[in-house]
Amino acid sequence: MIQVSKEELELQTLKQKIIAKVRHPFLTKFIPEPVIDEDKLVLLASIMDDTNLPDVKKEQYIITTMLVQVALDTHDLVTLTDEDEERETVRNRQLTVLAGDYYSGMYYYLLSQLDDIPMIHTLASAIKDINEQKMELYYKDVDSFQEFMNGLRDIESLLIQRVASYVQQAGINDVAGEWLLTKKLLDEKKNIQQHGFSPLFDLLLKSPTTNTNYAQIMTTVENMIQKNINRLELTLSQLPLHFNLLKSYVHTTLSDHQYTKQFAEEG
């Protein structure tokens, strides 16, 4: 029998509570249930583990932040999906927008119960900055691949970094940015390998200033992944013991993607 650690059980419990919050009987009839971003969930759980907050508040912060992420991800399904009606009906697109708005309303409701105005401001500021960065990435021509990657890193990590700073755990912010960008690149690389395209990297192909193709993108992405993993190996090994769940998670994820970097279990 596979043994599951206490931390992993707590993570599974948190995930189930988040799923329960976002499950809506009408929406699930027409659109897939949202995918919970486990990378961000593990980071949040690790961050909160080193605070002096009451357990109830830790859980509320994690669930609320993840609801924000679900709302952001759900709206992206419309932004990054082909507008061909044969691939997605107008009705489903409208329901997807509605679902994102519904999840947004959920986190405001939960925060209002906390009576935590500073946290509301923290999340609202992060949402504003992330959406501005998405507008730059999705609708404007980027000048270079590196500029595109910098924007992508901000989109993927700003929410977690702002919450970490709010609970005085900003020391994890560099690791969060590095890992979340790396994981996004791994996922997009997998999309290209399995399906022959990546909606995200299509934005690069459409930009007249980048002048690239999928083969070049794949080579550049692979080089960036390798460099990021090398940096992560060093920075993760220096983190304190309570980040062992994160270290183990990163190692397992990289192994699943056929990368074999080993991270020390002690910091």
Sign of CA dihedral 108, 110, 116, 121: negative
Question: Is the residue at 185 inside a domain?
Answer: yes
Of the chain, the percentage scoring pLDDT greater than 90 comes to 34
pLDDT reported for residue 266: 44
Using an 8 Å Cβ cutoff, are 201 and 192 in contact? yes
Question: Is the residue at 110 inside a domain?
Answer: yes
Q: List Cα–Cα distances, 164 to 48, 99, 100, 176, 187, in angstroms.
A: 8, 27, 24, 10, 24
- Banded pLDDT at 93 (limits 50, 70, 90): low
Question: Is the residue at 244 inside a domain?
Answer: yes
Read off the CATH number of the domain in which 214 is found.
Answer: 1.10.600.10
Question: Is the residue at 1 inside a domain?
Answer: no
Which 8-state DSSP code applies to residue 33?
Answer: P
Question: Is the residue at 206 inside a domain?
Answer: yes
Express each pLDDT in 168-227 by its tens digit. Answer: 999 999 999 999 999 999 998 888 888 887 878 887 777 777 777 878 888 888 999 999
Domain of 32?
6-81+88-265
Q: How many domains does the chain have?
A: 1
Express each pLDDT in 110-135 by its tens digit. Answer: 767 767 889 888 998 998 899 899 88
